[in-house]
Structure 1
Amino acid sequence: METEQQRLESANAMSQEGMLALQSAENENLPKLPPAKEPKSQWRQISTKTAESITQLPKYFSRFFQKYKQPLITVVLIVAAIVTGKVLLAMVDAINDIPLLAPIFEVIGLGYVSWFIFRYLIKSSTRQELAQEIELLKQQVLGNSISNS
C-alpha cells in the first residue's frame, strides 16, 4: 500500500518550472506545457474596447466634421430656419389671440396696401419710378453685374 501511495504522490509532483509533471514511462519524451493562464473576462475586454473607443471620439468627430463641413452647415441652417419660422408663427398666433389686436392689424395692412396702390400703381410715371427703385435695390444687394447684362 505504501508503494502505491508513493507512486500517486510522484505522479502529481510539481516540477521546478511550476508545471505539473506526470511521471510515467509513456510520457517521458512528451514536452511539458505551462499551466493555463486565466483568460481575461469578457466584461474586462468589453470595458477596454469601450474605453479605447471613447478616447478616440474627439478624433473621429473632428475628421467627420472636416469631411462633411459644408453639408453639416447647410443642414444646421435649414433646421435653424425651420425653428425660426415655427417660433414666428407661434408669436403671430399668440398676437392673434389678443382681442381687438388682430382686427387692428388687418385695418393697418389694408390701409398700407391701398396707399401703395394709389402711390405707385395707378399712374405710369409712378410705376416707372417704382421700377427704378427696384433696380437700384437689386444693384445694391446683388452688385453691379446686373446692370452690365
Structure 2
Amino acid sequence: MASEAGVVRDDDVATAADHLDVDYLSGEQYEITVRGHRVRVDQPTGSGGADEAPTPTELFVGALAACVAFYAGRYLTRHGFDRDGLRVRSDFVMATDRPARVATIRIVVHPPAGFPAERTAALAAVASHCTVHNTMQHQPEITVTVG
C-alpha cells in the first residue's frame, strides 16, 4: 500500500490477467469464483429467487462500503488508532425510472470510540478515495459480448 498526498492506494490493483467467473447454479442463483473464493448471489423471493444470498446489486453496494472500510482502517492504523469498533453503514435507493440502477448511495463511517473529532475530515477524505469509489467516479470502459 502506498500513500501519495494523503491518498491511500491498493497494491492489489487488478491487472489484465485478473478475472472472475460466474456460473449458474439453479433458480436465480449464481456463484462468483475469484482466486478460489466463492460467493453466491440470489434474488429475493418476490423476484423469483429463494433469497438465500445477497443480490448482485447488494454486493455492488457492499463492495463499495467494504472498500471504504478498508481505506478507513488503513488510515486508522497508519495514524496509531485501533480498528476495533470501526463500522461502515451503507444505505442505497434504487432508481424508479429506466434504466434499472442504483440512484443513491449513502455511506457513513463510524470510527472507533475515542477517535478525535478533529480527524474526521481527514478520515472521510481518505475513505472517499477508495478504489471502488474512484472507479465509480471515473467510469471504466465496459464491454459485454456473447461468445
Specify the TM-score bucket, using the shorter chain as the normaliser. Answer: under 0.3
Higher relative contact order (CA 8 A, sep 6+): 2
TM score, norm. by length of structure 1: 0.20
Tell me which protein shows more strand as a share of its residues. Answer: 2
Greater Rg over alpha carbons, structure: 1
Higher helix share: 1
